[in-house]
Amino acid sequence: MGAFAGSAALLCQVLRSDVSVITLTMNNSCNLRCPHCYLQFAQEDKFVAPWVVETIAESDAEAVAIVGMEPLLNRDSARKLASIVEAVKSRDKKVGVITNGLNAHLLSRETAALVDWVDVSVDGTRETYGSIRGAPVRKLERGIETLDRLGVRQINVLHTLHAGNLSQLGDLADFGRDLATGQVVLSPFCATRHEGSQPRDLDITSGALLQALERSDVDLDDCWIVLDLDWVAEPQLRQQFADRVERQLGGRSIMFRADPAAYGMVRITYDARVMTPRQAMHTGDYRRSRPRTREELSQVLARPAAQLI
């Protein structure tokens, strides 16, 4: 899912034992209330602590995908994002930011020059973005223009596909290509356990997704699909599903056959919990004990990511 690490999932194509991509949930507040969002927390506003950022920077991971709820929530959050990007880049890692893009003007020119990519979540067409994400599409377009003007090297678009937008897949791909200077990454909605509310009628089946991908009027050039094969409800259909998706996307597909931790991806939350990408989707289950010191966290990050499963 794009929710795992955004476009950084494209770096996780082989099974491996070390931690290679860390997705960092830097805060737990957002300026939007997207109905499909899995990151719904009941706690007070919090940011990741500097010692956690320093330990991530010193780890052997190759890349860090910074997500929030919203990294560009306000000026304070944008300042903290800048210091995370600096810390990670000072150790020569790749760094990406996953954002709704609406406050792109809060990104400094220095930070924009340092990041390797920015993923902007869109989920709608020019016509439907407003009703799907609850913000004016013009603001999104201005945000993306700002990222481009600030010199961001690669701007990717993320579309989470659900019952409210799947029928417009061709238009989503077209709008994504209009906005992005990089890739358009498609992923299905995943129902999760969390502390808020998520309408159940957003669910789509693997059959419906295949049907949409295989429609002759849908142009998927420059589009990638990222998903967890576990999402396909019927285990006996997973291989056939994967083959058909791969054929349709011309190989531009990342389909995890196990928890993405087995591909070197881990999640660290704003409150320093370390978990696998599958576990991270269920914020209502975030009870796991957390490392309390740099030593404890660096020990966890030095172990094979799959040990977290």
Ligand X SMILES: C[S@@+](CC[C@H](N)C(=O)[O-])C[C@H]1O[C@@H](n2cnc3c(N)ncnc32)[C@H](O)[C@@H]1O
The enclosing H or E element of 185 equals strand 184-188
List 66, 70, 88, 166, residue binding ligand SF4 (CB under 6 A) = 70
Binding mask 159-198 for ligand X (x = CB under 6 A): -x--------------------------x-xx-x------
CB 22 within 8 A of CB 61: yes
- Alpha-carbon distance values, 129 to 95, 125, 177, 219 (Å): 27, 5, 15, 20
For residue 158, state whether it binds ligand X (rule: CB under 6 A).
yes
For residue 283, state whether it binds ligand SF4 (rule: CB under 6 A).
no
For residue 300, state whether it binds ligand X (rule: CB under 6 A).
no
Give the Cα separation of 36 and 59 in Å (integer): 32
Backbone angles phi and psi of 95, in degrees to 5: -140, 135
Residue 204 or 300 having the CB closest to ligand X? 204
List 37, 144, 155, 265, residue binding ligand X (CB under 6 A) = 37
Q: Rounded to the nearest whole angstrom, what is the least distance from the CB of residue 300 to ligand X in the complex? A: 23
Binding mask 95-134 for ligand X (x = CB under 6 A): ---xxx--------------------x-x-----------
List 52, 53, 63, 69, residue binding ligand X (CB under 6 A) = 69
Supply angle C-alpha 72, 22, 97, rounded to 5: 25
> Positive or negative CA dihedral for 62, 106, 27, 102?
negative
β-pairing, 274-275 vs 265-268, is antiparallel
Buried b (16+ CB within 10 A) or exposed e, 160-180: bbbbbbbebbbbbbbbbeebb
List 39, 140, 281, 300, residue binding ligand SF4 (CB under 6 A) = 39
> Positive or negative CA dihedral for 259, 6, 193, 288?
positive
- Alpha-carbon distance values, 52 to 264, 283, 294 (Å): 19, 19, 7
Residue 54 or 141 having the CB closest to ligand SF4? 141
For residue 228, state whether it binds ligand X (rule: CB under 6 A).
no
CB 186 within 8 A of CB 140: no
Give the Cα separation of 153 and 177 in Å (integer): 16
CB 285 within 8 A of CB 279: yes
Q: Rounded to the nearest whole angstrom, what is the least distance from the CB of residue 164 to ligand X in the complex? A: 12
User: What residue 98 binds from ligand X, ligand SF4, none (CB within 5 to 8 A, per partner kind)?
Assistant: ligand X
Residues touching ligand X: how many (CB under 6 A)?
Answer: 23
Give the Cα separation of 106 and 291 in Å (integer): 31
For residue 308, state whether it binds ligand X (rule: CB under 6 A).
no
Residue 89 or 162 having the CB closest to ligand SF4? 162
Q: Rounded to the nearest whole angstrom, what is the least distance from the CB of residue 52 to ligand SF4 in the complex? A: 19
User: What residue 84 binds from ligand X, ligand SF4, none (CB within 5 to 8 A, per partner kind)?
Assistant: none
Q: Rounded to the nearest whole angstrom, what is the least distance from the CB of residue 219 to ligand X in the complex? A: 22
For residue 3, state whether it binds ligand X (rule: CB under 6 A).
yes
Supply angle C-alpha 140, 146, 152, rounded to 5: 110
Q: Rounded to the nearest whole angstrom, what is the least distance from the CB of residue 20 to ligand SF4 in the complex? A: 24
Binding site for ligand X (CB under 6 A): 1-3, 30, 36-39, 67-70, 98-100, 121, 123, 158, 160, 187, 189-190, 192
- Kindly list the residues in this chain that would bind ligand SF4 in the complex (CB under 6 A): 30, 32-34, 37, 39, 69-70, 100, 121
